[in-house]
Amino acid sequence: MNQVKKANYHHGNLRQALLETALEALASESLDKLSLRGLAKTLGVTPTAVYGHFSDKTALLMELRTLGFAQLSDTMAESLEALPANSRAEDKVKALGHAYMHFALEKPHLFDTLFSWNPDFERITPECIEAGVCSESMLRDTLIELIREQGAEATEYQASVASFSAWSLVHGISTLLKTGSVEGAIYCDNWPETFSSRHPESQARVIDHLLTIEIEGLKVAVTKCQEAD
Question: Tens digit of pLDDT for each residue in 123-134?
Answer: 999 999 999 999
Domain count, the chain: 2
Alpha helix segments (H runs only) across the chain: 11-26, 36-43, 47-51, 57-81, 89-106, 108-115, 126-149, 156-178, 181-187, 200-228
What global pTM score does this model have?
A: 0.89
Total Cβ atoms within 10 A of residue 93: 23
CATH number for the domain that contains residue 35: 1.10.10
CATH number for the domain that contains residue 201: 1.10.357.10
Q: Are residues 98 and 8 in the same domain?
A: no
Q: Are residues 71 and 7 in the same domain?
A: no
12 band by pLDDT with thresholds 50, 70 and 90: low
Q: Are residues 45 and 133 in the same domain?
A: no
pLDDT at 143 over 90: yes
178 band by pLDDT with thresholds 50, 70 and 90: very high
Q: Please, are residues 103 and 71 in contact by the beta-carbon 8 Å criterion?
A: yes
Percent of the chain with pLDDT over 70: 93
Q: Please, are residues 64 and 110 in contact by the beta-carbon 8 Å criterion?
A: yes
d(CA 121, CA 118): 8
Question: Tens digit of pLDDT for each residue in 13-25?
Answer: 899 999 999 999 9
If you average pLDDT over every residue of the chain, what do you get?
A: 91
Total Cβ atoms within 10 A of residue 61: 21
Name the residue range of residue 119's domain: 59-228
Eight-class DSSP state of 24:
H
